Amino acid sequence: MPETVTAPVKSRSPTVWTPDQARLAAKKSAQSRKALAVQRRRAIKQAANNPFQTVPAQPPAEQPQAPTIDRFASDRLARVRKQLIKLDSMLSHACDDPDLDASHIDKFASAIARLSEIERQLADRPLPGSRRPAPEKSAQSRASLLLGPSTDQPVQGRVEQE
């Protein structure tokens, strides 16, 4: 008796799948896998005909869009950096002047500290220690991946006796 195809039954909850929905999803998944396999085979055949053409292993994914640079923020950053340069030169002249008291030098230093914090935020740099660095991969493990297993190590299970 031939099977009749019916429309999938809607489930009561969005998280519960009915057998009909699962069958339909599996069918769509199989069709897309077959289509990708056909595309890969065609690309391999083209590569065999033209060995100098590069063939991507997978279809290119959409590239993430670079964030648009805010004109105001970039102008503000340039202005803050100019002010920092000017304050640095004023502080160096104040340190050389024997007639200037320490309160003026302290005011220059605190202004530089405030502007430096603003510049750090505008430049989108994290505070020291707030971002954990990525774990470093040792050179030995990279070399072992490239060269394969070493043959000068004794095989496990054998005991060499003299």
Determine the pLDDT at residue 42: 85
Least confident of 15-19, 22-26, 70-74, 158-162: 158-162
Q: Find the mean pLDDT for residues 35-58.
A: 74
Determine the pLDDT at residue 55: 52
In a domain, 129, yes or no: no
Q: Using 50, 70 and 90 to split pLDDT, how confident is the model at 115?
A: very high
Sole residue written with tokens 């970039």: 74
Clarify whether residues 82 and 112 are in a common domain. Answer: yes
What's the number of domains the chain is made of?
A: 2
Q: Is the pTM of this model over 0.75?
A: no
In a domain, 66, yes or no: no
Residue 154 has pLDDT above 80, yes or no: no
Contacts for 73 with CB less than 8 Å, ≥ 6 apart: 122
In a domain, 154, yes or no: no
Domain that holds residue 24: 20-56
* CA atoms of 78 and 75, how far apart (whole Å): 5
Contacts for 11 with CB less than 8 Å, ≥ 6 apart: 17, 18, 21
* CA atoms of 55 and 4, how far apart (whole Å): 43
In a domain, 85, yes or no: yes
In a domain, 14, yes or no: no
